[in-house]
Amino acid sequence: MTPLARTELPMEQRRICLVAGARPNFMKIAPIVRAMRDGFDRLQPFLVHTGQHYDREMSQVFFEELAIPDPDYNIESGSGSHAEQTARIMVGFEELCRAVRLHHVLVVGDVNSTLACSVTAKKDGIPISHVEAGLRSFDMSMPEEVNRIVTDALSDWLFCTERSAVDNLVREGKSPQTMFLVGHVMIDTLLCHCDRLARTDPATLESASFKKQFSRYGVVTLHRPSNVDDPLILGDFARTFAEIARDLPLVFPLHPRTKKNVERFGIDFGPSVVLTPPLGYMDFLNLWKDAAIVLTDSGGLQEETTALGVPCLTLRENTERPITVTEGTNTIVGTNHTVILEETKKILRGHGKVGKRPDLWDGRAAERIVGTLARLVA
């Protein structure tokens, strides 16, 4: 763990602890750090990296590309079961809470770090804000759903990306005065880096060689335990992707969990599915933004494809981000081989959804969040 040093702030300033631990968190925390440092001197960000994702490809490269400052504190929790990882984060975060005065804790998303730091902060009497609050898949077999529900129940302030999230929180008994519909910080990062990508020499990106080779292609991501931990399910996906790739080359950056299971089960995707290591943010954006189709079980990628109008098929039976289906370019297809193939062919024939970017997904969500915090944090 990062050594602790107690520093005092001027009387009028408030130390806001920003928690990030896994790859999806980094894209969400980056614009909040930037907004807090650019225009709100009263709020002093204190960045905590829980170490839930710790490989360079899943962590450090994102800090570099997204211009996130080095963490003030790193718990270095590492991997393990949900209980082991959550427990290590709680112990490390409790040590921090007792050594350094935190006026407020802000957590993002729905990973174990989000849950662990929320529980610890609440027991230590520190107010909590949850960014991306209120999203629900209504599937309690998903660990992320448990994390979302518990975090929202404990949070004092709830920042929502879409109207359905507000409705969910109202049904669960949260006061409307605690909720703020602000848009989506992940889209802040996306739009910022689309502009940056337009000014970047594409030859500097690894994905450029694939795009040069294929004028039309698709992108696959898969990482959820329910999809990659069972050899029969993962094998069915391999068969489906191989069939799609007969007509449309696919590139598949492998999450570490997926890579391990592909090797463990001896899964073969065929010659037209290109398997790669995880890609950095800019490299992956350069790849999927121009794809004919994205097939994924990622919640964040459902939203990003909606923001840029890229056709997306979600390889799950549900989504906690319904606006991507009702307004965006996303279609839920589950894991059925036939359904996935039919919906893919529909998109490739030009009959996919024509979506729109949701309201408030305009690149200014972080400004709204930080401006609201500046009013709320005593």
Q: Assign 49 to helix, strand or coil.
A: strand
At position 324, the amino acid (one-letter code) is T
* C-alpha–C-alpha distance, residues 296 and 306, integer Å: 13
Q: CA distances (Å), 24 to each of 183, 287, 353, in order?
A: 16, 18, 26
Going from the N-terminus, what domains does the chain have, and what CATH number goes with each? 14-184+361-376 (3.40.50.2000), 203-348 (3.40.50.2000)
Answer whether 357's CB lies under 8 Å from 303's CB.
no
Answer whether 189's CB lies under 8 Å from 266's CB.
no
The one catalytic residue among 193, 223, 255, 337: 223
* C-alpha–C-alpha distance, residues 245 and 11, integer Å: 61
What helix, strand, coil percent values describe the chain, rounded to 5? 45, 15, 40
DSSP conformation letters of 88-99: HHHHHHHHHHHH
pLDDT digit of tens for each residue in the chain (378 aa)? 555 555 667 667 899 999 998 878 888 999 999 999 887 778 999 999 998 655 545 457 767 888 888 899 999 877 778 899 899 999 999 999 999 999 999 999 999 999 999 999 999 999 999 999 999 999 999 999 999 999 999 999 999 999 999 999 999 999 999 999 999 999 999 999 999 999 999 889 999 989 999 999 999 999 999 999 999 999 999 999 999 999 999 999 999 999 999 999 999 999 999 999 999 899 999 999 999 999 999 999 999 999 999 999 999 999 999 999 999 999 999 999 999 999 999 999 999 898 999 999 999 999 999 999 999 997
Does the annotation count 223 as an active-site position? yes
Instruction: Determine phi and psi for 150, rounding to 5 degrees.
Output: -65, -45
What DSSP state is assigned to residue 204? G
Q: pTM, whole model, 2 decimals?
A: 0.92
